[in-house]
Amino acid sequence: MSDTLLEIDNLSVDYETARGDLKALRDISFDVKKGEIVGIVGESGCGKSTLISSILRLTAPNTRFRQGEVRFKGDDLLTMPERQMRNLRGSDISIIFQDPMQTHNPVLSIGRQMVDIQHRTKVSKSEKRSIAAKMLAAVGIPDPEARLKQYPHEFSGGMRQRIAIAMALMSEPDLLIADEPTTALDATLEVQIIERLQELQREFHCAILFISHHLGVIAELCDRVVVMYAGAVVESGDVREIFHDPKHPYTRRLIECDPGHIKERARVLPTIPGEVPDLANLPDGCIFRDRCEQATDRCAQVPPLEKLKEGHFAACWLNHPEESST
Amino acid sequence: MSPILEVKGLQTSFGAVNVLAGVSFAVEPGETYAMVGESGSGKTTVIRAIAGLAPAQAGSVKFDGEEIRGISERAMRPLRKDIAMMFQDPTGSLSPRLTVRNLVTEPYRIQGMKDKDLDAEAKRLLELVNLPAHFADRYPYQLSGGQARRVGVARALALEPKLILADEPTAGLDVSVQGELLNLLNDLRDRLGLSMVIITHNLNVVRHIADRMGILYLGRLVEEGTTEAIFDEPRHPYTHCLLSANPEPDPDARLERIALKGEPPSLLIRPKGCEFRERCPMASDICMQTPIWEVENGHGLRCLTPR
């Protein structure tokens, strides 16, 4: 068996709306290897959330899978019977959500919730409780035995997110999906969570699909990065390649715009003028064309996502100077 | 020049919870002051108390030389022309049932300025924040986060205030839009001579917009100085931790990271001695004593073991 865990192959997903089909994802392809941390970066409306819910097949009723496959260990998740899918969720694939304040059931103790999610394991309740306590200790919650009795409101935001991580890792998943797990937290806690994830990843050897719009976090945590814009992958590759030698103008502009990048006080900060195009009414050609300073006539054609070198893909005509006249 | 805003020993408690334990700072005309701290440090309460939206049991708030702490709502209302608030949640702070035109001109109606041509004013304000005029007919749900934020700025500017109190003005904005908002605020300050107090936990933002900044921990300032001085030579260990906790968009940047232990303690049981002691990487026995606020060359510090 290959070392590829998750393969997304030409995935296109629409939402049926009153205004017509909203093309939320178009021809998405990338893969996640075993034990690898892959970051997905993109701004609001780029399709990050649709992508996650498509992988887990937890999509809204008006979602239509137009084409493509999501293969997990070789099986296509999109055609898998629901019963089999349910067995995967929370055991082989688990997820940490964005908002730690709303992840847990407020009327059940943390211990009860951590025991309940072990419903597939056939061991005694007291054993499940001690597993839960061990996991709490692993994510750095002091005095875990006593804290199992407490309710979510008795924990701070940072602790609740760590409990969510403990619960997600309890089943020893092969793939952990983290959907902006640090966005709701302060910078100091963000660092704690990232460091904890790094440690746990080494311990559990699970692959992590880490979704964020925070470039600093992606740069620090991930091995590979997929950059999304308006429902399409515009660039993907090794984290160093992406940050040091971006090959798509959007990636380049995005990195420039991050104020963390600008050490000297700037009176005028860089921005990307314009707006994300309407996905229900897609413009022709390259999706970034309207906001791109380097756009040419060639951009009237959609550029394919092409391999530039080992482990670096980008969808931009600028990387093909030889085809300049057609 | 006398400060436009002067806060001294401001104290706020909600029941037994002492949120602000004596906050003092001043803002000069045309200056942007940033108040930085973690969740629960009391940042939002500071500006709400200044604007009379949260109680303040002790201390003094002088606006343009006049005491405004504890004055009646009736006396406060005319002052709201001069002190504008920008609230944290860009979409949530706009009434979903009003159009953008009504939203940006609502301050005139509240202040009873009947002689204004509201359509023209709406147009002028939208232009000021770089939104197209046809946005006047939109409702908040039709706005993106960045656009809603700009409507919030337009509303705050409607009455030509002297002071803007902005609560996390860039929270929830994408980086490509964040710069746009900061440029707008910088530009408006230069053109209209506004003074601003900005509340944020995003240090990357502070560097580009603030002239001076204060670091708030458990409702007390622990360090204050010019933005350059704080970034170049932070003296309080907490400030240093905050600065080093900023992940950089560079995979090869290996920061000298100072681990900040644990989380902020409960305000119900304030630690004895230095309140940052339990989380401080530099703490020693001396920190059992309570550090006092000392100012040297305009740089304020509350620490017994500064770097």
Asked whether residue A311 is assigned to any structural domain, the reply reads yes
Selected residue of A188, A196, A292 to mutate for chain B interface (largest B Cβ count, 10 A): A188
CA distance B132 to B135: 6
In this complex, is the C-beta atom of B249 within 8 Å of any C-beta atom belonging to chain A?
A: yes
pLDDT digits (tens, 9 = 90+) for B42-72: 999 999 999 999 999 999 999 999 999 999 9
Q: Of B47, B151, B59, whose CA–CA distance to B100 is shortest? A: B151
Residue A323: pLDDT over 90: no
pLDDT digits (tens, 9 = 90+) for B194-203: 999 999 888 8
pLDDT digits (tens, 9 = 90+) for A166-216: 999 998 999 999 998 887 777 777 888 888 889 889 988 999 999 998 898
Is it the case that residue B89 has pLDDT exceeding 70? Answer: yes
Of the candidates A10, A175, A164, A166, which has an alpha carbon nearest to the alpha carbon of residue A102?
A: A164
Q: What is the mean pLDDT of chain B?
A: 90
| A interface test, pick of B142, B175, B244, B254 with most A CB neighbours within 10 Å | B175
Q: Phi first, then psi: give them for residue A252, nearest 5 degrees.
A: -60, -45
Task: Quote the pLDDT of residue A326.
Answer: 45
Owning domain of residue A8: 4-92+175-189+207-324
Asked if the model's pLDDT at residue A32 lies above 70, the reply is yes
Cβ within 8 Å, pair A266-B208: yes
The count of residues in chain A is 326
Place of tokens 């700072």: B25
Alpha-carbon distances, residue B160 vs B82, B102, B156, B192, B198 (angstroms): 7, 17, 8, 8, 18
Residue A8 located in a structural domain: yes
Q: Is the minimum CB–CB distance between B251 and chain A shorter than 8 Å?
A: yes
**Position A103 in a domain:** no
Q: Is B247 on the interface with A (CB under 8 A)?
A: yes
Would you say residue A104 lies in a domain? no
Residue B179 to residue A259, Cβ atoms within 8 A: yes
Residue ranges in chain A assigned as alpha helix (H): 48-56, 82-88, 100-103, 110-116, 125-138, 144-147, 157-169, 187-204, 215-221, 239-244, 249-257
Mean pLDDT of all residues in A235-259: 94
- pLDDT at residue B216, rounded to an integer: 95
Rounded Cα distance, A173 and A180, in Å = 19
pLDDT at A158 > cutoff 90: no
Percent of chain A having pLDDT more than 70? 98
Strand pairing of B5-14 and B17-27? antiparallel
pLDDT confidence of residue B175: 82
Q: If you write DSSP's letter for every residue of B178-233 in order, what string do you get?
A: HHHHHHHHHHHHHHH--EEEEEES-HHHHHHH-SEEEEEETTEEEEEEEHHHHHH-
pLDDT of residue A303: 94
Q: Enter the pTM of the model.
A: 0.86
* pLDDT given at position A159: 87
* CA-derived radius of gyration, chain A: 21
Instruction: Calculate mean pLDDT across residues B101-127.
Output: 91
For chain B, the straight-line distance linking the first and the last C-alpha, in angstroms and rounded, comes to 33
Indicate whether A125 belongs to any domain.
no
We report the CATH number of the domain holding residue A179 as: 3.40.50.300
**pLDDT above 90 for B16:** no
Please tell me the total number of residues recorded for chain B in this structure: 307
Mean pLDDT of B117-126: 92
Residue B100 backbone dihedrals phi, psi, to 5 degrees: -60, -40
Stretch A47-59: mean pLDDT: 92
Please write down the HEC assignment for all residues of B5-50: EEEEEEEEEECCEEEEEEEEEEECCCCEEEEECCCCCCHHHHHHHH
Strand ranges of the sheet holding B163-167, from the earlier edge strand across to the other edge: B83-86, B163-167, B195-200, B32-36, B212-217, B220-226, B299-301, B294-296
- Suggest the residue from A38, A162, A190, A191 to mutate for an interface test with chain B (most B CBs closer than 10 A): A191
Instruction: Assess whether pLDDT exceeds 70 at residue A72.
Output: yes
Query: Does residue A83 lie in a domain region?
Result: yes
Q: What pLDDT score does A322 carry? A: 60
Q: Do A265 and B227 touch (CB under 8 A)?
A: yes
Query: Least CB-CB distance to A239: which of B145, B207, B251?
Result: B251
Check CB contact of B268 with chain A, cutoff 8 Å.
no
Shortest distance between the Cα of B56 and any Cα of chain A, in A, equals 26
Tell me which chain B residues have a C-beta less than 8 angstroms from the C-beta of A213: 174-175
**A265 at B interface, C-beta within 8 A:** yes
| B174 contacts A43? CB cut-off 8 A | yes
- CA–CA gap between residue A178 and residue A156 (Å, rounded): 19
Asked whether this complex has an ipTM greater than 0.85, the answer is no
Mean pLDDT of the residues in chain A: 90
Q: Is there a contact between A265 and B208 (Cβ–Cβ < 8 Å)?
A: yes
Please indicate, yes or no, if residue A159 is contained in any of the structural domains: no
Compute the distance between CA of residue B42 and CA of residue A234 in angstroms, rounded to an integer: 41
Q: Give A85 to chain B, closest Cα distance, Å.
A: 33
Tell me how many domains chain A contains.
1
Contact status, residue B104 vs residue B122, Cβ threshold 8 Å: yes
Nearest-neighbour CA in chain A from B134: distance (Å): 16
Contact A220 B207 (CB under 8 A): no
CA distance B173 to chain A (A): 9
Name the minimum distance, in Å, from the CA of B154 to any CA of chain A. Answer: 19
CA–CA distance, B109 with B102 (Å, rounded to integer): 9
A270-289 pLDDT tens trace: 888 888 888 988 889 999 99
pLDDT at A276: 84
Residue A73 lies in a domain: yes
The model's pLDDT over B262-289, given as tens digits with 9 standing for 90+, comes to 777 888 888 889 999 988 988 999 999 9
Distance to chain A for B74, nearest Cα, Å = 37
**For the sheet containing A63-72, what is the strand order?**
A20-33, A4-17, A63-72, A75-76
pLDDT tier at B256, thresholds 50, 70, 90: low
| Superfamily name with CATH number, domain B5-29+37-70+197-301 | P-loop containing nucleotide triphosphate hydrolases (3.40.50.300)
Model confidence pLDDT, tens digit, residues B229-254: 999 999 999 999 888 887 788 888 76
